[in-house]
Amino acid sequence: MLFLFQEGFSLAPNITAVCDIWLDCGVVHYKNCLFYLFVCIHNSMLAQSSFIIVRAALCRVGGAFSTIKMSQLHTTGKSNSSKVAVVLSGCGVYDGTEVHEAAAILVHLSRGEADVDIFAPDVDQMHVVDHTKGQPAEGQTRNVLVESARIARGKISPLSALNASTHDAVLFPGGFGAAKNLSTVATEGANCTVNPDVERVIKDFHKAKKPIGLCCISPTLAAKVIPGCEVTVGHDKDDGGRWPYAGTAGTIEQMGSKHINKNVSEIHVDAANKIVTTPAFMCETKLHEIHDGIGKMVTEVLSMAK
């Protein structure tokens, strides 16, 4: 075939003859004619009248040319995208969504060509934290949906509108909002309650056998709503401050679910329940490592959603 191409290239003026050589080799080589044609065009060796000759030659092999869609010559390789819901819990690590985690999820979903809708419960936050001090701001109240809209660039819907039948997967970034606004894990531990819409969404996606992705502290939501499931929030030992929230692993076990130790760059896949989790900022580490771990979670969720 290399010989034919080299020979064909040297015989550029006689395009019909070159195409006939390939066509005589069988239908399977009709694409070589197209490629050769494009080479000629690129090198300005092809007269307009020759297009008709080459098309006729290609049609000679059982209509092979007619089976080629011109759109395939310009394809991006994009497949049918999954429709994914992302559930936020406010804006800011100490009283809402961890912004870096939310951004990482959205970046990886975009890279995976997912069709994304963002939701948040239309409720008041547990409290408002001054992020410059890490302390509650007295006398302030904020709405979870309104605050989450900052991350969503205004394109957000109340969580009550999310239906598992309209989406292929759901993802929950972390931040203390997951433990304060989506549930009461932060104050009540294993005896917590989960926001009714959050509980409904997790149960509905689980029942529909659609993947659920959670990172950072948010795996506690699945652990509470789906007892017996397997999740990770990192390690169950502090390890000199690397895992400052290691006690959360014990809380998950108390909920009746199973905690699996994983490093920040790893994910845990509970295949039976279609739950994918990763530690994210439960670990004191570099931002790119959190971004990479979240990327693996998103990739696995999108794979399960196909």
Catalytic residue numbers?
A: 216
Rounded to 5°, the CA angle 105-106-111 comes to 100
Tokens of 174: 């972390």
Alpha helices in the chain (DSSP H): 2-10, 15-24, 30-42, 48-59, 99-111, 144-151, 177-180, 185-188, 196-207, 219-225, 247-254, 287-305
Calpha distance 176→124 (Å, rounded) = 14
Backbone torsions φ then ψ of 33, nearest 5 degrees: -65, -45
* Residue 215 φ/ψ, nearest 5 degrees: -135, 165
Alpha helices in 70-188 (DSSP H): 99-111, 144-151, 177-180, 185-188
Provide φ and ψ at 206, rounded to 5°.
Answer: -65, -45
Residues 6+ apart with CB under 8 A from 56: none
Nearest alpha-carbon partner for 250 in 264, 263, 225, 233? 233
16 CB neighbour count, 10 Å cutoff: 11
Q: How far apart are CA 20 and CA 32, in angstroms?
A: 11
